[in-house]
Amino acid sequence: MLAKTEQKNKAVDLRKQGFSYSEILKKIPVSKSSLSLWLKDVKLAGSQQQKLTDKKLAGMKRGWESCHRKRVLSTEKIKNISEAEVKNLTDRELWLIGIALYWGEGHKEKESRPGSGVKFSNSDPKMIKLFLRWLIDIIGEKKEKIYLEIYIHESCRYRLKKVVSYWSDCTGFSKDNFVRIYFKKNKIHTKRKNTGENYYGLLRIGVKSSSILQRKIDGWISGVYKHCGIV
Domain ranges of the chain: 2-64, 91-227
Q: List the chain pLDDT tens, one digit each, 231 residues.
A: 556 777 877 777 777 777 777 788 888 888 878 877 777 767 766 666 667 666 777 777 788 888 889 999 999 999 999 999 998 999 999 999 999 999 999 998 776 666 689 999 999 999 999 999 999 999 999 999 999 999 999 988 899 999 999 999 999 999 888 999 999 886 655 555 656 788 999 999 999 999 999 999 999 999 999 998 876
Please list, in sequence order, all residues whose beta carbon lies within 8 angstroms of the beta carbon of residue 181, skipping any fewer than 6 positions away.
149, 150, 151, 152, 160, 164
In angstroms, rounded to a whole number, what is the distance separating the alpha carbons of residues 82 and 19?
A: 48
Nearest-Å Rg of the Cα atoms of the chain is: 32
Query: What is the reported pLDDT for 1?
Result: 58
Strand, coil or helix: 124: coil
Q: What is the pTM of this model?
A: 0.70
Cβ 199 vs Cβ 150: under 8 Å: no
Q: Order the strands of the 178-184 sheet from edge to edge.
A: 119-122, 202-207, 146-153, 178-184
User: Which one, of 85, 173, 160, 88, lies nearest residue 129 by Cα?
Assistant: 173
